[in-house]
Amino acid sequence: MNQIKGRQSTKFEKDVYILGCASVVGQKEGEGPLGDNFDKVVKDPMFGKKSWEEAESEMQAIAARLVLEKCQIKADDIRMVFAGDLLAQSIASCFGLVDLNRPLYGLFGACSTIGEAISLGAMAVAGGYANHVLSMTSSHFASVEKEFRFPLAYGNQKPPSSSWTVTGSGACVISSEKSNVKITGITSGKIVDFGLKDSQNMGACMAPAAADTISQNMADFDRNPGDYDRIITGDLGKIGREILIELMKQKGYDIRDNYLDCGMLIFDSNTQDTNAGGSGCGCAATVLASTLIPKLESGEWQRILFVPTGALMSKVSFFEGQSVPGIAQGVVLEYVGKEK
């Protein structure tokens, strides 16, 4: 079977499964609408460590341990790890996973990292290069504010288009070992730049990339939005959502009825003061692990298109007047358990 589909997609010939997943989040996420779904909620924002960066590393270490426990495998069973985060040089992942003592491929996809990690992990398993791969990512509100915006104690007003970085780490074990959830295909995302320069409106910056990947997925697999129970983006938020629906409409696809966004699911913006919604690598990853995959595992959903999005910028590029391009990585997940 030709695994190359259309212009950007891959359909895996070998069976690739999500053996299990785990999510660890902070207090605010635990108090949100999905609070009960997470495997672990840690109230201490420092996770017992001395700095925000170490706290984020600790979160990754906890998520990795949890997912191995849930899958009933040991660290040695993991052939390779695909992981990344938002911090410079991905230090949260590097220091968080050093004790795992397994080979690591560090990634940067901004908030699309979990999509990238799962895509590459699935390729490794499908290619027969690994039986078990760990794909994971994280973000931490405080470490991201410090890196990209302002020290926590500094007073600044966030506009309604801004998002709240999720403190959370999500991890998946991708494997050739059978489970109820299969990764049947991926649509690899390309950088899409509509020239927007407003880093306080990430949803608007990333929506074009999501539209590009989703419509390419439709074209490559010859599908319509109705062929998916849900199409789920990572963190487009309230504004990005509306823009995506409009951009998809212009391409001839109506996704309004079955489209969800992780950033809008994880927080209740009416009571939690999160403006446009949640964001960060941990947003899509923890919602996937805690809420989306369980719905597939139970058979409530049969097939979903998971499309986390990232904004590819740095503080330097922003101050030098460059725009904020986006990228979106598509993963097709299907229920392959027994018929109900």
Which helix (H) or strand (E) covers residue 109, if one does?
none
| Interface size with other proteins, residues (CB under 8 A) | 36
Q: Residue 245 and residue 256: Cα distance in Å, rounded? A: 6
Q: How far is CA 245 from the centre of its chain?
A: 20
Cβ 82 to other proteins shortest distance, Å: 26
Rounded to 5 degrees, φ, ψ at 315 are -60, -40
Residue 204 is a binding residue for other proteins (CB under 8 A): yes
Smaller CB separation from other proteins, 194 or 318: 194
Judged by CB under 8 A, which of 2, 72, 157, 270 binds other proteins?
Answer: 157
Stretch that binds other proteins, among 29-37, 147-155, 170-178, 296-304 (CB under 8 A): 147-155
Place of tokens 């070998």: 14
Q: Pick the binder of other proteins from 198, 227, 229, 297 (CB under 8 A).
A: 198
Q: How far is the CB of 211 from other proteins (least distance, A)?
A: 8
Q: Does 155 bind other proteins (CB under 8 A)?
A: yes
* From candidates 177, 227, 242, 334, binder to other proteins by CB under 8 A: 242
| Residue 93, C-beta contacts closer than 8 angstroms, at least 6 positions apart | 57, 60, 83, 84, 85, 104, 106, 136, 137, 138
- Give the single-character DSSP code of 154: S
Per-residue exposure over 3-28, b if at least 16 CB sit within 10 Å of its own CB, e if not = eebeebbbbbeebbbbbbbbbbbbeb
Q: Name the minimum Å distance from CB 324 to other proteins.
A: 12
Per CB under 8 A, the list member of 312, 325, 329, 332 interacting with other proteins is 325
Interface residue with other proteins among 78, 192, 284, 313 (CB under 8 A) is: 192
Should residue 193 be labelled a site residue for other proteins when binding is judged by CB under 8 A?
yes
- C-alpha 269: how far from chain center: 20
**Region from 59-67, 118-126, 150-158, 307-315 binding other proteins, contact rule CB under 8 A:** 150-158
**Does 14 engage in binding with other proteins (CB under 8 A)?**
no
Q: At what angle do helices 202-221 and 237-250 cross, to 10 degrees?
A: 40
Least distance in angstroms from the C-beta of 224 to other proteins: 18
Task: Report residue 91 as tokens.
Answer: 């230090």
Pick out residues in 20-59 that bind other proteins (CB under 8 A).
50-51
